[in-house]
Structure 1
Amino acid sequence: MHVILIATQKGGAGKSTLAAHFGALADAEGKTLLIDADPQASLSFWYKRRAAETPILVKAAAENLPSTLDAARADGIAWCIVDSPPHNAPLTASLMSRASVTVIPVRPGPFDLDAARATLDMARSLKAPIACIINAAPPITRESETSIVAEARAYLTQIGAPVLPGQVSQRASLSHALITGQAVTEYDPDSRAAGEIAAMWRAVSDLARAFPARS
């Protein structure tokens, strides 16, 4: 079972948005479980509006997460995507120790970059595989990323953060898809938003397959 943990020490970075879209894409590759461990329950909000019966979603409190992961493995789940709560370092560390890859969404701004550094330091101490995604960024213009994205990428590279190529831009179609309980690859499959999300999922899933199972 591949476990994708989406984590950051700051709220509002777009964890739930990535979890919903990655869950729909993972489900095309194998039996997928979404775990909503964030008290804000944004992922559950999306799931209640979803017409499709898959992927599966469960809500789990911190104390139930280990047994939830054990049950998922026993049930033959291929992909498990965890939307973790912010501001809970002990839980994040525990989940990192079981994740195939920890994905850190980073908005291109100083507060998110500082939070990414804290999460990166935690991952290093645990020797946990990690990847940063530049998320909710200004759209690419003339096939070039904006200066604020380039600066964020340079900072992440400088502190040794593995940052994936490309970005997930702030686009209206992402929100429209979530409101209808869909991923943007279902709602508007030929859009730039769908292309960006699909490219990020390919990169994350390839990383997960490259590392030995930890859960």
Structure 2
Amino acid sequence: MQVISIAARKGGVGKTTLSMHLSVLASAPGKPALLLDTDPQRSLAWWHRLRAVDEPNLIEAEARELPDLIEAARREGIGRVIIDTPPHAEDSILSAMRVADLVLVPTRPGPLDLAAVSSTLDLAQRVGKAPLAVINHAPPRTGAAEPSIVSEARAALANMGATVAKTVLANRVSMSHAILTGSTVNEHEPGGKAAGEVEALWREIEALLSRNARPAR
């Protein structure tokens, strides 16, 4: 079983949106992923209630329940678990990081958002995790080169010692339209630019999880 925790000390960087979209791609026919919503705002649970189908599965949880819930999911044969965390709540974030095989740290490319990333990276280091930073809500690419603010954000994250995902998620209105229908861009607008970006990010995540799972030789 693979556990992905999505964490950031700053709010509004796209943790819940990322959880929604990745959970659908993480599901396989007859084997839905499990979402654990540990954010007291329960935005993830609100989206889940809008869906026409119950999959992926979702449990509203407290951070202290995570070890038991993860073990129960393992016994039930769940393939993938995705944990959405609250901002600011250090203990909750640490609990989610401890049970994760991979920690994702989304951030907008703005300076104030980047300034807040270092504290999340410090928490991951405290529990021995090497997180993957994901640049989110970025200006869409208009040419061959990515926008300068994205390149600068990538360099800043690398200087903090973070591994940065190659895929950047642009700020696209199709994301909001999809969420309001209880779906994801991959379901609402398959083949669109936003769907392509999310799929590319998921391929990166799968490859990283696969490498991490390989036994040492």
Is the TM value for this pair above 0.5? yes
The match for 2:108 is 107
The superposition leaves residues 182-213 of structure 1 with CA deviations (integer Å, 9 ceiling, x where unpaired) of 11111111100000000011111221222249
How far off its partner does 1:173 sit? Answer: 0.6
Asked if the contact 2:5–2:103 (Cα under 8 Å) also holds between the matched residues in 1, the reply is yes
How far off its partner does 1:127 sit? Answer: 1.9
Partner SS, residue 136 of structure 2: strand
The match for 1:24 is 24
Asked if the contact 1:2–1:209 (Cα under 8 Å) also holds between the matched residues in 2, the reply is no
> What is the alpha-carbon distance in structure 2 between the residues aligned to residue 97 and residue 63 of structure 1?
11
Asked if the contact 1:23–1:34 (Cα under 8 Å) also holds between the matched residues in 2, the reply is yes
Q: Which moved more, 1:159-168 or 1:92-101?
A: 92-101
> What is the alpha-carbon distance in structure 2 between the residues aligned to residue 28 and residue 192 of structure 1?
23
Unaligned runs of at least 5 residues, structure 2? none
Asked whether 1:210 is paired with 2:215, we answer: no
Asked whether 1:122 is paired with 2:110, we answer: no
The match for 1:42 is 43
For residues 160-171 of structure 1, the aligned pairs below 5 Å read 160-171=161-172
Q: Percent identity of the aligned residues?
A: 44
TM-score under structure 2 normalisation?
Answer: 0.93
Partner SS, residue 139 of structure 1: coil
Partner SS, residue 186 of structure 1: helix
Partner SS, residue 129 of structure 1: coil
> What is the alpha-carbon distance in structure 2 between the residues aligned to residue 196 and residue 2 of structure 1?
22
The match for 2:52 is 51
How far off its partner does 1:67 sit? Answer: 1.6
How far off its partner does 1:73 sit? Answer: 1.1
Q: Tell me the C-alpha RMSD between the 2 structures.
A: 1.4
The superposition leaves residues 18-46 of structure 1 with CA deviations (integer Å, 9 ceiling, x where unpaired) of 00000000013743101111111111111
> What is the alpha-carbon distance in structure 1 between the residues aligned to residue 95 and residue 70 of structure 2?
12
> What is the alpha-carbon distance in structure 1 between the residues aligned to residue 150 and residue 38 of structure 2?
29
How far off its partner does 1:63 sit? Answer: 2.4
Partner SS, residue 137 of structure 1: coil
> What is the alpha-carbon distance in structure 2 between the residues aligned to residue 170 and residue 138 of structure 1?
6
Amino acid at match of 1:50: R
The match for 2:9 is 9
The superposition leaves residues 33-80 of structure 1 with CA deviations (integer Å, 9 ceiling, x where unpaired) of 011111111111111110122110110012222221121111111000
Q: Which moved more, 1:5-14 or 1:140-149?
A: 140-149
Asked if the contact 1:137–1:168 (Cα under 8 Å) also holds between the matched residues in 2, the reply is yes
The match for 1:81 is 82
Unaligned runs of at least 5 residues, structure 1? none
TM-score under structure 1 normalisation?
Answer: 0.94
Amino acid at match of 1:7: A
Amino acid at match of 1:106: T
